[in-house]
A and B are shown apart, each in its own frame.
Chain A
Amino acid sequence: MSVSAGTAEVEAKRAGNGRAPRRPVEELDSVVIRFVGDSGDGMQLTGNEFSKAIAKAGHDFATHPDYPSEIRAPTGTLFGVSGYQIQFASRQVFTSGDAPDVLVAMNPAALKTNLADVKHGGIIIANGGAFTDNNLAKAGYKSNPLEDGSLGGYRLYRIDISDLTAHALKDAGLSKKDVGRCKNYYALGLMLSLYSRPLEREEEDIRRKFARKPEIAGANVLALRAGYAYADATEMFITAYRVRSADIRPGTYRSLTGNHAAALGFVAASELSGVPLFLGSYPITPATDILHELSALKHFNVTTFQAEDEIAGICSAIGAAYGGVLGMTTTSGPGMALKTEALGLAVMLELPLVIVNVQRGGPSTGLPTKIEQSDLLQAVYGRNGECPIPVIASSSPADCFDCAIEAFRLAVKYMTPVILLSDGGIGNAAEPWRIPDPASLPKLEVKFRTDAEGFQAYARDANLARAWVRPGTPGMEHRIGGLEKDFLTGNISHDPDNHQRMVEVRAAKVAGIAGDIPPLRVEGPEKGDLLIVGWGSTYGSIVQAREQAAAEGYSVAHVHLRHLNPFPQDLGDLLKRYRTVLVPEMNLGQLSRLLRERYLREVVPLNKVQGKPFKVSEIHDRIVELM
């Protein structure tokens, strides 16, 4: 915990029991909390609720859910541990934080797998009742770490959350199973007390959330209050902490994951263009939530089709696009591989299509629930033939909303498939999203050709885009397909010169998008010692590392690329203005390769492939080394 100014004051107002304040309150700049437990313990829910409570108090936050690929791995095992980390602060927050200040561990396995990350001297809240001989053995502990003094370097609080929850709810008349489910809220109550947050808002939320099950709502409120009161009454935390509210732009906010934000963006693209949306998709981690979200929005002009496989997912979207709607498909790495042939077809057909790849650890099945950025070269190059496709990438959960609209803007304007890269970190992590006024969003122009006079299926406009014609339009019946086609009519052509011309025009069309990308925004000096070039979910870590280094007096700038194919027109010039270019990526240097190849410029790669995001310190350390 970074303690600011050391101001100890007496807590002015207490929620819950109304008793006189006792504990001193310390002011902090930022706090990182990690909730860890069995994958069935509800850690994702607890983390989510805590982040909402924090956000409503005016903090910025960033989260990182970390969960195993098994839905409910055997209880108490090391591989079944699920975690949720949140950082909140009195300033803007870009990452979920490097090392937790507080670890809430629901069992020995959770403690064992996470202890090494906790800051020295940090707080450990352990669910004491779960530290049974059996659970200790499963986690490989020879003795109980809560009792053997091995946690001497931390502030350890042992609380039997399960039993205390059960005790608080003994008169609630709930089944044992339902009581067990309330322990999340007990843990939440503990944390709200520790961080001096009032209970009322959370109670209102619980009552709203369980409006149809008032007895469950009541029980959860009881558990929440019990946790809060316990922390308070036992004075278990010597000090309470308060993080000042962040200086956040006024507006109405909500917490959104990247997948949810993408879904909203796609609906917005449909509403802004007046063209229906069609999603053909096959369930795959970590992309499926986009399909979930859109499936529930049939009161918009949204059709979702859970296809028989990944190939049918994209092919149905191509069929829909041919029919004149906004066709799209969602997937992750292995599914992307299966869609490859159909991507080529979409390039030949020159129909608008959006393909979302929420990347995960690869190759093959890889690490389905862990994050990686290793599908960039696949997106740019991975097809047979000369097969150019524009590629964009979102840099944060909320950015997925804007990228979804941008993907369709390019797709319909240039009549091309567009690949949108996200990753499991962005897709599942949440951050506050400032809700836009729909009237402030860009209009999406879609024109269908209906004039049969002089129509040629592959005649092009100034952007080299051909016309979009809906079947059902009289007098314009025509055939398209995957065979090479005549430059103008679209009829099959095996003519050598025509093929050269078509390959070149498809490449020129995509390359031309470079002129349609807004100027790059550079953080830091316009020229100098070091430029960091990033893309995707490394955004937060890079921003913080750069700010830290800049504050230390280093000349370091940062540019984050949304458009990866083609690159923005001003990127080449920018790269020349710095002595060194550093490229942090969660792969073995894929953007580095693209930059070297395109600009003949040496760059310094910083690569991490551990299924975990960059720590700020990892990037900061490399910046300092390069100075």
Chain B
Amino acid sequence: MTDMTEPATLTKKDFETNQDVRWCPGCGDYAVLAQVQKLMPTLGIPRENFAFISGIGCSSRFPYYMETYGMHSIHGRAPAVASGLKLARPELSVWVVTGDGDALAIGGNHFIHAMRRNIGLKIILLNNRIYGLTKGQYSPTSQLGMKTKTTPQGSIDRPFSPVAVALGAGATFVARTVDSDLAHMAQVLRRAAEHEGTAFVEVYQNCIVFNDGAYDAITDKAVRDDARLLLEHGKPLLYGKGRDKGIRLRGLEPEAVTVGEDGVTEADLVVHDEAADHSGLAFFLSQFDAPKLPVPLGVFRAVSAPAYEDMNNQLHADAEARRGRGDLAGLFNSGDTWTID
């Protein structure tokens, strides 16, 4: 692919369309769009080999703003559409952009099965914990007790964590980032782009109109260092302004401790291993939430497993090696035949 064009000559501008971007001013989606547009020309892939597939919702307008091939499909079904595209055309770089309602409510089934198969899709979930396009109803990630137009007395729906769902479905790459930390987002998106198989990235994204400030605790520069935990492979779970706070285990219970106090040293802390054989540690981290524990950002899990499209290609190669390339006359005349003169 790379020998056909000169991808190095492409710039962010080459990935911008002439369409007016119709997100509300100040929406977190702009930051994600800009980072993705910036990332694309650096991946060594010709522009025509990208496809962006989305469902329905604010986030799903994304493909219209990418000067690549793209499809704005129907609510929740983007992973299914993208799976068919990837199987038909494994050489394409196929991205899915979705939201918390699109991926986790109406499209939950497709979301989990894409990850179970480990098909080569890059799935970016813009999680604003609210339904924006329908003007403010609670979503599967809205906090318990949250007041919205459909929960005037506060929500009684228990939210789940997209990262935990992805891990439960067997995802081989799971990461989380936040719209306001551009450097972190760029780093996580690049890792996702380079992963073989399904790569899932949750982006904490602020909805300025219907759920403004949902992530203030981890985005406000004054307090965020004590509320978020930046995951680094092979490093102890350290956080805090002075990087003096950490996580240690008491049995299977995580505990926030301060290094240097009560005899705690760095050696007592849990060391992050994104490539662990099983997803236990990643799942454990996915349960962390403020204020009791810091919110982890970064790569929870990145393991290598055969990609679905590669296995599918292998099926074809095996079948052809065993039976030869099929020909119609042979197929028609197989089985029991008889001749009438």
Spot the interface stretch: B157-165, B285-293, B317-325. B317-325
Nearest CB of chain B from residue A455's CB, rounded to whole Å:
13
Q: Residue B110 contacts which of A250, A308, A327, A491 (CB distance < 8 angstroms)?
A: A308
Inter-chain CA distance A128–B138, complex, in Å, is 68
Collect the chain A residues with CB atoms within 8 Å of residue B322's CB. Answer: 299
Spot the interface stretch: B66-74, B194-202, B258-266, B270-278. B66-74
Cβ proximity bits A243-278 to B, threshold 8 Å, 1 near / 0 not: 000001111111100000000100110010000101
Q: Residue B331 contacts which of A300, A316, A327, A481 (CB distance < 8 angstroms)?
A: A300
Check B92 for interface membership: any CB of A closer than 8 A: yes
Collect the chain A residues with CB atoms within 8 Å of residue B312's CB. Answer: 303
Collect the chain A residues with CB atoms within 8 Å of residue B333's CB. Answer: 252, 254, 435
* Chain A interface helix/strand/loop/mixed: mixed
Q: Is the CB of B72 within 8 A of A323?
A: no
Inter-chain CA distance A479–B320, complex, in Å, is 36
Cβ proximity bits A304-329 to B, threshold 8 Å, 1 near / 0 not: 01011101100111111111110100
Q: Is the CB of B319 within 8 A of A342?
A: no
Nearest CB of chain A from residue B24's CB, rounded to whole Å:
17
Q: Is the CB of A298 within 8 A of B48?
A: no
Spot the interface stretch: A466-474, A533-541, A567-575. A466-474
Q: Is the CB of A324 within 8 A of B89?
A: yes
Which residue, of B47, B48, B68, B336, has the highest number of chain A Cβ atoms within 10 A?
Answer: B336
Check B190 for interface membership: any CB of A closer than 8 A: no
Interface residues on B, range: 35 or more
Inter-chain CA distance A327–B327, complex, in Å, is 20
Spot the interface stretch: B77-85, B97-105, B229-237, B241-249. B77-85
Q: Is the CB of B84 within 8 A of A278?
A: yes
Cβ proximity bits B45-72 to A, threshold 8 Å, 1 near / 0 not: 0111101010010000001101111111
Collect the chain B residues with CB atoms within 8 Å of residue A307's CB. Answer: 80, 83, 113
Q: A55-B338, A264-B331, A297-B326 are in contact. Are A476 and B88 (CB under 8 A)?
A: no
Collect the chain A residues with CB atoms within 8 Å of residue B325's CB. Answer: 299-300
Collect the chain B residues with CB atoms within 8 Å of residue A215's CB. Answer: none
Q: A312-B110, A438-B328 are in contact. Are A342 and B84 (CB under 8 A)?
A: no
Q: Is the CB of B81 within 8 A of A322?
A: yes
Q: Is the CB of B89 within 8 A of A323?
A: yes
Residues of A214-267 at the interface with B, using a CB-CB cut-off of 8 Å, are: 248-255, 264, 267
Q: Is the CB of A320 within 8 A of B84?
A: yes
Q: Is the CB of A477 within 8 A of B47?
A: yes
Q: Residue B88 contacts which of A271, A276, A308, A341 (CB distance < 8 angstroms)?
A: A276
Check A482 for interface membership: any CB of B closer than 8 A: yes
Among residues of B, the one whose C-beta sits closest to the C-beta of A401 is B332
Inter-chain CA distance A491–B80, complex, in Å, is 23
Q: A250-B340, A303-B87, A319-B83 are in contact. Are A311 and B77 (CB under 8 A)?
A: yes
Check B19 for interface membership: any CB of A closer than 8 A: yes
Collect the chain B residues with CB atoms within 8 Å of residue A480's CB. Answer: 70-72
Q: Is the CB of B328 within 8 A of A474?
A: no
Collect the chain A residues with CB atoms within 8 Å of residue B327's CB. Answer: 438
Among residues of A, the one whose C-beta sits closest to the C-beta of B110 is A312
Inter-chain CA distance A306–B73, complex, in Å, is 20
Q: Is the CB of B80 within 8 A of A311?
A: yes
Q: Is the CB of B64 within 8 A of A341?
A: no
Check A349 for interface membership: any CB of B closer than 8 A: yes
Cβ proximity bits A429-452 to B, threshold 8 Å, 1 near / 0 not: 000000111100000000000000
Q: A319-B88, A471-B89 are in contact. Are A255 and B73 (CB under 8 A)?
A: no
Check A205 for interface membership: any CB of B closer than 8 A: yes
Inter-chain CA distance A324–B90, complex, in Å, is 12
Q: Is the CB of A476 within 8 A of B73?
A: no
Q: Is the CB of A438 within 8 A of B110?
A: no
Inter-chain CA distance A255–B92, complex, in Å, is 42
Q: Residue A472 contacts which of B92, B318, B339 (CB distance < 8 angstroms)?
A: B92
Q: A299-B323, A315-B73 are in contact. Are A278 and B340 (CB under 8 A)?
A: no
Q: A325-B88, A471-B69 are in contact. Are A312 and B80 (CB under 8 A)?
A: yes
Q: Is the CB of A481 within 8 A of B46?
A: no
Collect the chain B residues with CB atoms within 8 Å of residue A276's CB. Answer: 88
Q: A311-B80, A341-B74 are in contact. Are A323 and B92 (CB under 8 A)?
A: yes
Check B42 for interface membership: any CB of A closer than 8 A: no
A-B pairs with beta carbons under 8 Å apart, 26 shown: A52-B336, A250-B340, A251-B340, A280-B80, A299-B319, A299-B323, A300-B326, A303-B87, A305-B83, A312-B80, A318-B81, A319-B71, A320-B85, A323-B84, A324-B89, A344-B74, A471-B92, A472-B48, A476-B48, A477-B47, A477-B70, A479-B66, A479-B72, A480-B70, A482-B56, A483-B72
Interchain residue pairs A-B with the least CB separation, the first 7: A481-B72, A319-B84, A316-B84, A323-B88, A315-B80, A298-B319, A312-B80
Question: Besides the contacts A250-B341, A311-B77, what 10 more A-B pairs have beta carbons closer than 8 Å?
Answer: A267-B331, A305-B83, A315-B81, A318-B84, A319-B71, A319-B88, A345-B73, A435-B337, A437-B329, A481-B73
